[in-house]
Amino acid sequence: MKIRDLNLDDYVIVHDLGKSEYSEGMRVVGRVDEIIFNEDDKNEAGIDSLGNLYHFDDSNYFDLWSNYIESKTERLNDSPELCGFTVDKELLEEAKEKGIDELRRKMLQSNDVQQRKRNDTVNHPSHYNYGEIEVIDFIEQVTQHYNANVAYHIGNAIKYLSRSPHKNGKEDIQKAKWYIERAYENWD
């Protein structure tokens, strides 16, 4: 995909933004709020991702968010009961073994989670939404076994560890270390 194919207000996912020999870059999802067509065919676009502005050009790998999500799912049109639902391909294989009721339950759950993640960048930002479980749900499961003061610090450490490869890298690891040390100091 090229920048010339974008429209203002499209949602895109830009992979490896800021990648260099010293950084792996990051994945950013945002709304296109600026498109600049240059005479030398070095077109640029700006996206707004949770109030942060990022610029990228045709050398960056990017795709429309809807195309990216569609590539991760499979449409089920064969069955009238399931028409209109999408489901992960691995989930479909698992459901064939476990039966249709289990498939329906997981599809509804999967579609709900996918919808929340796509439409709510405030409560479900992309750097906390990847894999099988949302980071906030994992934090709540883990921290319920600690006293309140320690739980706060453990929760923040988990938050920074989970987002570090998707947001601030080593800086987030340093913050997580700080919170672990605070949890240790406040154990008693």
- Alpha-carbon distances, residue 99 vs 75, 80, 95, 103 (angstroms): 18, 16, 5, 7
* 120: CB partners within 8 A, 6+ apart: none
Higher pLDDT, residue 103 or 61 = 61
Domains of the chain: 3-67 (2.30.30), 73-119 (no CATH), 133-185 (no CATH)
Three-state secondary-structure class, residue 173: helix
Tell me the chain's radius of gyration from C-alpha atoms.
20
pLDDT tens sequence across 139-178: 888 888 888 889 999 998 988 888 788 777 899 899 999 9
Mean pLDDT, residues 80-96 taken together: 58
Q: What is this structure's pTM?
A: 0.38
- Alpha-carbon distances, residue 60 vs 10, 125, 155 (angstroms): 17, 21, 34
- The neighbour count for residue 1, using CB atoms within 10 Å, is 12
